Amino acid sequence: MSTAVLLLAHGTPDSVEDIPEYLRNVTSGRAIPDSVITEIQHRYGLIGRSPLTAITLRQGELLAESLSVPVYVGMRNWKPYIAEALRQMRLAGIQKTIAICLAPQNSRTSVGLYRKAIEHNGGDIDIDFVESWHAHPLLISAFAARLENALATHGKQTPVIFTAHSVPARTITDGDPYERQARETGNLVAAKAKLPRSQYKFAFQSQGMSGGPWIGPTVEETMRELREQGQDRVLIQPIGFLCDHVEILYDIDIAFRELGSEIGLQVLRTESLNESPLLIAALAALVSERLSVQAAASNLGEF
């Protein structure tokens, strides 16, 4: 059976002019206030074009170089869309795909939506969907290496805030594993980097502009808490994101640093994983593990 890998990501607009259409994809067609569109356009204008798509495609290329199966990339909210990636697979005669979401913590607000998109567009392709890989040893090593490099540069005693994207509070109260998995990733990275528990905190960033509560604590609250404790610098490491995009380049590098300037707290950030060899190794290991399981199941079927 012909098998391929499908990397799944959020997607990002090609230009500021594409943002209204992009946001309609994000909200599944729900109406978006003009004020929200204007604010998002402002943020993208400050960072320039988001590099998420280019980096994700490069991650796919690097992964393909280390595997014996082809790798495709599909985005939920922008080009190249998941539906197009699956169409290309069918044209190539692919019968089975190992689908990996580039959001390692499982949530129905992210991974769940990717699964629905694949099921809607997959047709007769057999889908092996990786639900979560938030605690994979190679992923933890990749984050820990970035953290250790930053601490070596900025001071080993610098307090750390691990961050992940916030989600609506109702998501967690409905039993979603996301918050638990995000915190577990942070704790595992801290342990790998030998950070004492007193040196790091966990916070959620990039809360949505829609109504209703989102999970916290927020990064802003945590920054103010550190300043009140007498700290004058903080190192932020986002452990829910695998590459640079607007939630890093604007939310951390611009908005949080502006807040830091206001309250007297220098905001530092770890380098994103992007093309990290350890990240690519983690993805390759996920694929190899799935291929081994498939091979074992196939062999059992012969008896």
Residues shown for the chain:
303
The CATH number of residue 84's host domain is: 3.40.50.1400
144 with 263, same domain: the answer is yes
Burial zone of 123 (CB within 10 Å; 0-12 exposed, 13-18 middle, 19+ buried)? exposed
159 with 116, same domain: the answer is no
Mean pLDDT of 116-126: 91
Peptide bond into 217 cis (omega under 30): yes
8 with 70, same domain: the answer is yes
* Residue 189 pLDDT exceeds 70: yes
242 with 281, same domain: the answer is no
pLDDT of the residue at 91: 96
Write out the residue range of the structural domain in which residue 166 sits.
Answer: 137-269
Q: Dump pLDDT digits (tens) for 231-272.
A: 999 999 999 999 999 999 999 999 999 999 999 999 999 999
* Residue 210 pLDDT exceeds 80: no
User: Percentage of the chain with pLDDT > 90?
Assistant: 88
Cα separation, 248 vs 205, whole angstroms: 10
pLDDT of the residue at 198: 98
Could you tell me the pTM of the whole model?
0.95
CB 76 within 8 A of CB 82: yes
Q: What is the total count of domains within the chain? A: 2
**What is the residue whose two structure tokens read 């209204």?**
20
* Residue 302 pLDDT exceeds 60: no
Q: Strand ranges (DSSP E) for the chain?
A: 3-9, 71-75, 96-101, 126-130, 160-165, 200-205, 233-238, 266-269
Cα separation, 176 vs 186, whole angstroms: 18
Between 158-162, 185-189, 290-294, the lowest mean confidence (pLDDT) is in 290-294
Q: At 129, give phi and psi (nearest 5°).
A: -100, 125
Q: Which residues have C-beta within 8 Å of that of residue 14, sequence separation ≥ 6?
A: 49, 53, 78, 79
- Closest by Cα among 153, 152, 158 to 231: 158
141 with 246, same domain: the answer is yes
